[in-house]
Structure 1
């Protein structure tokens, strides 16, 4: 599947992100991904409107490749796949930022399927033309 880079952001690894094993807890990776996704949605004015339409995540996944530990900073790259009628796939890559030997290495990757919905009707709706254009479709 062809993916298009649409957003990158950096964020700190917080002390509270770690668990008893001394590394970032697996659930926190989903929070990193969520923050990157919401940041991109805000950037493109795709904020959910409970009285209208907006994005809903219907599944999410994450593969843990290398441990992350405090202190540190990560960069989350957000990529998107081609749009369907009412949905598209998002992909995220988490890399450690810094000068050590692990900096820049892929530490985690994950993603989610996003469906555009009409919230009051609780049904999928066609992707808006502006979003479809950002995703790389001409139709």
Structure 2
């Protein structure tokens, strides 16, 4: 897995305040880094606008993170995300965090479910969102 496999990438400066008593970035911040890349992806496919206009948006059903190496301040990271697969009402996002100093430091996934917040239930993945994902992922094979 390489960063070039991830069509949406976000560069983040590691903050001093993100470190814990052990002198490395606290584990919760890795999930925040994933979130930052996920929200960028959502903006690019129109999902943020869809939620604002209709109440239909995304909800995370499951997330995982594999910690490869501890990040320390100061550092710059790049967080990449892509959609690994799509279903009827959900899609799986994959993440990769690469440190300027250490290389790959973490990877993970999230199951993202389309959800109508107005009626509190899952809904089908809108066709225009599916098309936007396919456009971004062109060149990456969706399983």
Structure 1 length normalisation: TM-score?
0.85
Shift of 1:83: 1.1
- Residue 90 of structure 2 corresponds to 87
Give the drift of 1:35: 0.9
Segment drifting more, 118-127 vs 87-96: 118-127
Write out aligned runs for 1:43-62 (5 A).
Answer: 43-47=44-48, 48-49=51-52, 52-62=55-65
Aligned to 1:66: 69
- 1:1-139 matches, within 5 Å, as 5-47=6-48, 48-49=51-52, 52-97=55-100, 100=101, 102=102, 105-136=103-134
Taking the aligned partners of 2:45 and 2:82, their CA distance within structure 1 comes to 14
Ranges in structure 2 where 5+ consecutive residues have no aligned partner: 136-143
Structure 1 runs (4+) deviating above 3 angstroms are none
Q: Distance in 2 between matches of 1:117 and 1:49?
A: 13
* Structure 1 unmatched runs, 5+: none
Q: 1:52 offset after TM fit, Å? A: 2.1
CA contact (8 A) 2:57 2:116 kept: yes
The alignment yields a C-alpha RMSD, in angstroms, of 1.8
- Greater displacement, 86-95 / 118-127: 118-127
Task: Tell me how far 1:112 sits from its aligned partner.
Answer: 0.7
Normalised by the length of structure 2, the TM-score is 0.83
